[in-house]
Amino acid sequence: MLLDLMLGSLLLLSALLSLHSRNSLKSGIFFVVFGLLSGLLWVRLEAPDVAMVEIVLGSAVTSLLIFKLIATARIKAVKVHRIRKFWAGVISLAFLVYMIPYLLTLRKEQRIEVLVFEKLSMSGVESPVTAVLLNFRGYDTLLEVGVITLAVFGIIALNKGDKVYVWRDPLVQSLSRWILPMTVFFSFYVTYLGTFSVGGAFQGGSLLAGGLIFLSLTGQDVHIGESIKKSLLLLSLLVFCGVGLMYAVTGYGFLVYPLPLSTISIILIELSICLSTALLLYTAYRGKV
Amino acid sequence: MLIEIASLTFTILGVFFLLAGSVGLIRLRDTYSRIHAITKADVLGFGFLVLGLMLSTRTLSEVLKLLLTWLLVVSYSSLVSYAIAHRKRKRDVA
């Protein structure tokens, strides 16, 4: 309890500092701290999947993107108008007040987890989170994948060929090369874990993206052809839509997996999402394919 | 019982070193001594912490995972201190 309170207040503090520091670099650093703390808080709330996403994606990869933005755009600290701040605060407070009685009166049988665990055996995977993401709520995940893909293509289209910060230090270069195989191994391991335990494709993909971005920060690149990279960017969307359409044509319905084939379909989709997410985030960081 | 005591001792030792390193990071005057304090205390403190945690695990795979974490953290923390020192020296010379 004490630990949770401390983490919560530190989280609020880091959010405040991130919003209120004049230096945009400082804001970015406090944003990283905020991400890490909220990851820890998610662990305390027994949501390790979300914690993983928050730390790998929200704290590591996103902050790299923010730092790149700060370095290239040379923006001063963003000044938000006071009235706008006021209204944002009022709306957040109203939402909080609205949510508190709802959270306090929530009964166990109303919780979604009961429903999920009831139907878990029909999903083809043992992890409730993956079952929701890729089976019960497959549509949402498909659209998420679509949104990321579209956003990255937007980034590629808007790229003006800005100079990216690289540090060609031999020590760092060799370390990034040494670390990459381990990162690849762990990202696939995390993706595979998603079928029965904590883990998943987005976490694994972001991990891989982190390794690739580290490589590119030292002025190196993975040697795969441009056309292969482009097709890898689209892979998850293609596989997801393809699997969904296949079952739609055979009469089960879009993204409704027949029980004996559901595990293999989900693993296939997860693998493709892992690869694509990694390449998409890497491309988003580099700004070009 | 003996293992539990050893585990607790190592953990407390690790926390002590990490705390000392953090105090050094805040209290020391210039960048080099700060890096010195934080890196040394980090490696030592985190090492003891991992050792303490290793003694409290049940399976071999957990021990190996902790060992891997230790290796990664040590290599990254030395890399980060190297990067900071490099940058600082470059700035001092120029």
Per this entry, what is the length of chain B?
A: 94
pLDDT reading at A80 higher than 80: no
pLDDT of residue B50: 92
- H helices of chain A, where? 2-20, 24-44, 48-53, 62-73, 82-104, 112-119, 128-131, 138-158, 170-193, 201-217, 226-249, 259-286
For an interface test with B, give the residue of A165, A172, A183 to mutate (most B CBs within 10 A): A172
Residue position matching structure tokens 């109303």: A110
Which residue, among A279, A263, A271, has the nearest Cα to A148 in the 3D structure? A279
- Confidence check: pLDDT of A188 > 80: yes
Q: pLDDT: is A270 or A20 the higher one?
A: A270
Residue spans of the domains in chain A: they are 1-106, 114-289
List, for residues A151-168, the tens digit of each pLDDT value.
Answer: 999 988 988 776 777 888
Nearest CA distance, B55 vs chain A (angstrom): 23
Residues 6+ apart with CB under 8 A from A28: A18, A63, A66, A67, A70
List the single best residue of A173, A174, A175, A178 to mutate versus B (max B Cβ within 10 A).
Answer: A175
**Cβ(A157)–Cβ(A284) under 8 Å?**
no
Residue A201: pLDDT over 80:
yes
Q: Is A95 exposed, middle or buried (0-12, 13-18, 19+ CB in 10 A)?
A: exposed
- pLDDT < 50 positions in chain B: none
- Is A11 a residue whose pLDDT tops 80? yes
Establish if B12 touches chain A: CB-CB under 8 angstroms.
no
Q: Indicate the fold that domain A1-106 takes in CATH.
A: Four Helix Bundle (Hemerythrin (Met), subunit A) (1.20.120)
- Selected residue of B61, B79, B89, B90 to mutate for chain A interface (largest A Cβ count, 10 A): B79
**Nearest 10 degrees: CA dihedral of A244, A203, A67, B90?**
-140
Residue A221 gets the label, from left (phi > 0), alpha (psi -120 to 50) or beta, of beta
Q: Does A123 or A17 have the greater pLDDT score?
A: A17
Using an 8 Å CB-CB cutoff, list chain A residues near B82: 171-172
**pLDDT range class, residue A209, cuts 50, 70, 90:** very high
Task: Tell me, yes or no, if B75 comes closer than 8 A to chain A by beta carbon.
Answer: yes
HEC per residue, B25-53: HHHCCCHHHHHHHHHHHHHHHHHHHHHHH
Cβ-contact B34, B83 below 8 angstroms: no
Q: Is the pLDDT of residue A110 over 70?
A: no
| Chain A residue whose CA is closest to B81 | A172
pLDDT of residue A22: 79
Domain residues for the domain of B50 are 2-93
Q: Which residue do the tokens 């957040």 mark?
A: A92
Distance CA A149, CA A75 (A): 27
Give pLDDT, residue A79: 67
- Residue A85 is which amino acid? K
- Residue A66 corresponds to which tokens in the numbers above? 């923010």
For chain A, give the longest Cα–Cα distance.
59
Nearest CA in chain A to B87: A167
* ipTM for the complex shown: 0.81
Going by C-beta distance under 8 Å and a sequence separation of 6 or more, which residues neighbour residue A55?
A: A35, A36, A39
Tally of domains within chain B: 1
Instruction: Work out the number of other CB atoms within 10 angstroms of the CB of residue A147.
Output: 10
Chain A residues with CB under 8 Å of B79 CB are 171-172, 175
Q: Which of A167, A169, A175 sits opposite B75 (nearest CB)?
A: A175
Q: Name the helix (H) or strand (E) containing A166.
A: none
Q: Å from A147 to nearest chain B CA?
A: 33
Dihedral sign for Cα A112, A114, A118, A124, please.
positive
Chain-chain contact of B83 with A167 (C-beta, under 8 angstroms): yes
Quote the distance between the C-alpha of residue A266 and its chain's center: 18
For chain A, list residues whose CB is within 8 angstroms of any CB belonging to chain B.
167, 169, 171-172, 175, 179
At A76 the pLDDT is 57
